[in-house]
Amino acid sequence: MLEGTADAGLLVRLRAGEESAFAELLALHGGRLLATAKRLLRQDADAQDAVQEAFLSAFRALDGFDGRAGLGTWLHRIVVNACLLRIRKRDRHPEPTLDDLLPTYDSTGHYITRQASWADTPPEISQRAEVRRLVRETINELPEGARTALVLRDVEGLSTADVAAALGIESGAARVRIHRGRQLLKALLERKNLSGVLE
């Protein structure tokens, strides 16, 4: 069942081809979807192209939309898929490895390298504008696979199963990528001397 009568009414108008309905849909969801695309693609022009392609795909698929989710949720999935498609099509350039930043363990499973603990919870940290900016910049430094999984899970709020489905991998592999992304992000933030935040 379509979430909310406003969505139901808008869907009827969209299917009828009302120009004002398309403008309303864009006004309601365009900004949030563009922000999602920018987080995934890191380039404004690529993000704008992906959102435009996603809206065109959505308009073509309106008759097949079953209404089990809200229009915004449905559009979000289409935008994420459009972004992932663009990521897969990009020319592959060798990425620098950040594996030396991951924690190391001895044969008993104890840390060999010191691990800083987070002094604040992630929601408290994210409230600080400067830290938020630095975290966003640092996420962009992560290798593509770890970065995409981390953004989908921790920024976009997809479940691990949805991340796996979006990336076309098993849930276990998605968990590994997400965990690796989190560890690398933490290590990169430590390298940037965020001792007051991390300790």
Domains of the chain: 5-89 (1.10.1740.10), 99-198 (1.10.10.10)
Question: What pLDDT, on a 0 to 100 scale, did the predictor assign at position 1?
Answer: 41
Quick one: which of 33, 62, 61, 60 has its CA closest to 48? Answer: 33
Quick one: which of 24, 80, 79 has its CA closest to 54? Answer: 79
Taking 70 as the pLDDT cut, the residues of the chain under it are 1-6, 91-103, 105-106, 109-129, 131, 194-199
Question: What pLDDT, on a 0 to 100 scale, did the predictor assign at position 199?
Answer: 45
Amino acid symbol at 183: Q
Q: At what angle do helices 44-60 and 19-41 cross, to 10 degrees?
A: 140
d(CA 91, CA 15): 37
Question: What pLDDT, on a 0 to 100 scale, did the predictor assign at position 120?
Answer: 56
Amino acid symbol at 141: E
Question: What pLDDT, on a 0 to 100 scale, did the predictor assign at position 195?
Answer: 44
The pTM assigned to this predicted structure is: 0.59
Question: What pLDDT, on a 0 to 100 scale, did the predictor assign at position 122?
Answer: 59
